[in-house]
Structure formats: C-alpha cells, structure tokens
C-alpha cells in the first residue's frame, strides 16, 4: 500500500496562511507544519524584555533592529521557516531603510530563544543548528527557570551567564552591555 504524502508547503504559502483558530503556534519544517504550544505569560514577559533591550540598543546606536517572532528561512526545497522569539538584524545586513514584507533574504545577526516548559532540548538544538547554518552569528538561550542566559557562537560552544553576570554583545552588538538580571526584573 502506497503512503500519500501531504502537499509540501513553501515559505511564501506559509507566510500568507491564516493563523490557527486555537491560538497554537506553527513553524514550517521541511515543507510541513509543526504545531507548538502557545507560550505562557512568563515566556512573553521575558521575550518582551529581551526585545526592549535589543530595540533600545539598535535605536540608540543606529546599529540595527530587533523584531519578535519574525520568520527566518533556514532551508529551501523543501522550505523551513523558523521563528526565533526575538531576532536582531544589524544595519549592515539589513539596511535601516528596508522593511521586507516577507522574510528577509539574509539571516539575523542574533537569534534569541526563551525556554518554556514545552521546549524540548532536541527541538532547540535542531533550531539552533539550522540558524547557525543559515548564517546567524550568535544565539542567546534565556532560561527563566534558572535565571540564566547561555550565549552560543556555535552549536557546540555555549557560555552560561548567571543572573549576577553582565551580558556583552561582543562583535555582533558592539558596545552592548546589560546585566543578565535585567532579563528577569
């Protein structure tokens, strides 16, 4: 008996889809929709704090822009579109006068994931691998439970910063310094 494979969805089709009525969150993974639980309040609060810090940095330094849950195409044929909780594009990668209607053709400089109870380590690692392969320069994983931020420059090299530490933007976000505690205030 032959198995019938569902139609493969492209990134362009995915971008124009009507959101699920049940409020669930979806990502496009190898041409198929992957459903995830909608994040809770604590997740949204941390996501908002990270966005505010990055947006203030970008505006103050005229360096770039932060966005929330904007799709990043990590693969083609079949397409995969990931939605980091927060992304940051430098003006060098995405000029400040450009506002793509769809997904930018270039990967963000920084992707941020805020952990929630429904996150599985395997899913986060797969997403990070795809983002790094696409050209993301740095990933922050914010852990509200342990009040830490892990800074990754590659999939195999993470540095855990505890609440008492200071996070630096390094060469990706030059001049950015922020107490890790500010993410959890």
Structure tokens of 109?
């400089």
How high is the pLDDT of residue 4? Answer: 46
How many alpha carbons lie under 13 Å from residue 127 in its C-beta half-sphere? 24
Which DSSP category does 22 fall into? T
- Name the nearest CA neighbour of 14 among 82, 99, 87, 66: 82
Contacts (Cβ under 8 Å, ≥6 apart) of 126: none
The C-alpha angle with vertex 34 and arms to 73 and 87, in degrees rounded to 5, equals: 40
Across the range 49-72, mean pLDDT stands at: 95
Distance (Å, whole) CA 78 – CA 7: 11
Q: Are strands 138-143 and 110-114 parallel, antiparallel or unpaired?
A: parallel
Query: Mean pLDDT across the chain, nearest whole number?
Result: 90
Q: What average pLDDT does this structure show over 134-155?
A: 96
Lowest-confidence range among 52-66, 81-95, 121-135, 152-166? 121-135
Per DSSP (E only), the strands in the chain are 25-29, 32-36, 64-68, 72-75, 80-82, 86-90, 110-114, 138-143, 148-154, 157-162, 166-168, 177-179
Confidence label for 3 from pLDDT (cuts 50, 70 and 90): low
The predicted-structure confidence for 68-123, as pLDDT tens digits, reads as follows: 989 999 999 999 999 899 999 999 999 999 999 889 889 999 999 999 877 777 78
Residue 37 — pLDDT band, cuts 50, 70, 90? Answer: confident
CATH code: domain 24-183 is: 3.90.1570.10
Q: What percent of the chain has pLDDT over 90?
A: 63
- pLDDT value, residue 76: 92
Whole-angstrom distance, CA of residue 35 vs CA of residue 58: 32
For the segment 27-54, the average pLDDT, to the nearest whole number, is 89
């Amino acid at each position: 008996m032959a198995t019938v494979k569902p139609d493969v969805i492209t990134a362009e089709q995915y971008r124009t889809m009507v959101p699920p009525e049940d409020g669930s969150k979806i990502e496009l993974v190898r041409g198929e929709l992957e459903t995830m639980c909608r994040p809770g309040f604590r997740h949204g609060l941390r996501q908002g704090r990270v966005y505010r810090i990055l947006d203030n940095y970008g505006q103050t330094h005229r360096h770039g822009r932060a966005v929330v849950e904007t799709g990043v195409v990590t693969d083609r044929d079949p397409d995969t579109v990931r939605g980091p909780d927060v992304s940051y594009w430098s003006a060098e990668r995405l000029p400040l006068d450009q506002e793509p209607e769809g997904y930018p053709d270039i990967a963000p400089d920084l992707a941020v994931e805020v952990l929630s109870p429904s996150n599985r380590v395997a899913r986060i690692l797969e997403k990070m691998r795809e983002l790094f392969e696409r050209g993301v320069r740095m990933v922050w994983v914010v852990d509200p439970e342990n009040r830490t931020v892990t800074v990754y420059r590659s999939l195999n090299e993470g540095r855990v910063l505890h609440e008492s530490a200071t996070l630096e933007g390094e060469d990706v976000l030059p001049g950015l310094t922020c107490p890790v505690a500010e993410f959890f205030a």
